[in-house]
Amino acid sequence: MHEKELLMINQNELRILQGALETLADGFSDLPDFVPDYDWAPMAAVLQQAAKRMQDNYPYEHPLYAGQMLKPPHPVARMAYAMSMWINPNNHALDGGRASSAMELECIAALGDMFGLQQPLGHLCGGGTMANLEALWVAGRLQPGKTIVASSQAHYTHSRISEVLGLNFTSTAVTPDGRMDVAALEEQLESGNIGTVVATLGTTGMGAVDPLSEILELRQKYDFRVHVDTAYGGYFHIASKLGADARQAFDRIPEVDSIVIDPHKHGLQPYGCGCILFRDPGVGVLYKHDSPYTYFSSAELHLGEITLECSRAGASAVALWATQKLLPMIPGGEFAQALDKSLLAARALYRFLDRSDNYRVLMEPQLDIVVYAVNAKDAVAASEKASKVFEEAAKKDLHLALVNMPSAIVSHYWPELEINQESVACLRSCLLKPEHLEWIDEIGAILDEVAAG
């Protein structure tokens, strides 16, 4: 039997999970007998139906899935999550999950350590959207009436969250490599009333890393908060193969006011695991509420007092805790080496596309996302060809993603292209799985084959 059969539960996994559940049960063995009564047969039937329904998915775990930003959870995360389901802890309050709340605090301390923060205030949450919402909510509370800015390549969630929170939002232009244009930002700061600058370290579309160093330098002249949205890119902080610009940006993270990182993106976690960190633990007072339900059972602020969400899966904390134990977030460690492989995979695909006559690759990847157009005479034809390649590649089991890029950015890398519409549909490959590195030749061969056909 193969060690890793796609989508099959490994016998080791089953055995390890069983062993962990036995240990968990030992902790409750002195209770009076109580055996929940279930009828298993109908469950098997329903589960078969569910499994059939679930066949309608892309094979995210396979290296030939090279499209959207997806990465399978690590088996240790999956097992830890499953094991804790037998308790189903709720990290809203200590009454709902004492152990998993303590584990969450350890996870937060470890993430803070990774970024070089001394004693951040933070917690896990449903994902990057929720985490960014908390960051912008705090920013708005501290600077009422001031405007939030993020680059035009920042995640759309920032403008929408600002709308939800009733905050003014404006976007800043980017340079053709997708990074925030610092000169344009300075003009906005000069005209005043900017309270917070959102720097994206790893944009979702292009994987561009905003020039955090230059942004922070502007604080010598202007007074503003800096929030770093590194939902996708955060873990690259411990990679060793970043280019110089990206390295410089990541190195300045300890100086910012708040950070968002999504363990469910590059951190090997099941969905439902985002994280917000504030450098100044003093912002905790902003969360003060007087719920009659949440018992203030300890002198320290507990998680229910520093989150906007109420009920939250304690299982997410258990899964992340187990993953961090197995794969510590240290430069040069196994986890960091896997991130380096993703960086190398993106560079290898970039080189392949750069040599191919069928494709026009855009910016050199700063992280592990590659964006490329299909060669054609004009923007309309290139867009049509991109859709065609997307469909034909899928028939050969290679799954890509489509992204609309502003024509101005595409022209920078492809000056001969006739621009007859505002945007160009391009292909986008997020190479988040380290295994991609071994599959670039195969991916390239399919890309050439479908472009020619």
Ligand X SMILES: *Cc1c(COP(=O)(O)O)cnc(C)c1O
With respect to ligand X, which residue has the nearer C-beta, 132 or 366?
Answer: 132
- From the list 24-32, 127-135, 189-197, 305-313, the region that binds ligand X by CB under 6 A is 127-135
Q: Return d(Cα 229, Cα 238) in angstroms, integer.
A: 16
Site string for ligand X, 192-211 (x = CB under 6 A): --------x---x-------
Question: What's the DSSP call for residue 12?
Answer: H
Stretch that binds ligand X, among 123-131, 165-173, 243-251, 367-375 (CB under 6 A): 123-131
| Span near ligand X by CB under 6 A; candidates 43-51, 84-92, 122-130, 345-353 | 122-130
Binding of ligand X by 155 (CB under 6 A):
yes
Angstrom distances, CA of residue 337 to CA of 237, 329, 434: 12, 10, 9
Task: Report how far residue 337's alpha carbon sits from residue 320's, in angstroms, rounded to the nearest whole number.
Answer: 18
Scan for tokens 């110089």, then name that residue.
Answer: 244
Cβ-based burial of 252 (10 A; exposed 0-12, middle 13-18, buried ≥19): buried
Q: Which is nearer to ligand X, 123 or 302 (CB)?
A: 123
Burial 163-194 (b: 16+ CB within 10 A, else e): eeeebebebbebbbbbbbbbebbbebbeeeeb
Strands (E), 314-387: 359-361, 369-374
CB of 94 to ligand X, least distance (A): 26
Minimal distance in Å, beta carbon 412 to ligand X? Answer: 22
Q: Looking at beta carbons only, is 94 or 405 nearer to ligand X?
A: 405
Residues 224-253 that bind ligand X (CB under 6 A): 229, 231-232
Q: Which is nearer to ligand X, 120 or 267 (CB)?
A: 267
Q: Which is nearer to ligand X, 114 or 447 (CB)?
A: 114
**Measured from the CB of residue 313, what is the shortest distance to ligand X in angstroms?**
14
Complex with ligand X: residue 260 or 446, whichever CB lies closer: 260
Q: Which residue, 132 or 407, is less far from ligand X as judged by CB?
A: 132
Per-residue b or e along 329-366, where b marks 16 or more CB atoms closer than 10 Å to that residue's CB? beeeeebbbbbbbbbbbbbbbbebbeebebbbbbbebb
Sheet of 423-430, strands arranged across: 359-361, 369-374, 423-430, 401-406
> In degrees rounded to 5, what are phi and psi of residue 318?
-65, -40
Residue whose structure tokens are 């007087």: 290
Min. distance of Cβ 132 from ligand X in angstroms? 6
Please name the amino acid found at residue 421: Q
Q: Which of 68, 129, 168, 213 binds ligand X (CB under 6 A)?
A: 129
Minimum CB–partner distance for residue 126 and ligand X (Å): 7
Return the closest-CA partner of residue 327 out of 76, 121, 157: 76
Which is nearer to ligand X, 271 or 296 (by Cβ)?
271
Cβ at position 185, least distance to ligand X in Å: 18
Nearest residue to ligand X on Cβ basis: 128
**Residues binding ligand X: number (CB under 6 A):** 13
**Shortest distance (Å) from residue 226 CB to ligand X:** 15
Residues within window 157-176 making contact with ligand X, judged by CB under 6 A: 157
Q: Name the nearest CA neighbour of 180 among 222, 158, 209.
A: 209
Binding residues for ligand X (CB under 6 A): 127-129, 132, 155, 157, 200, 204, 229, 231-232, 262, 274
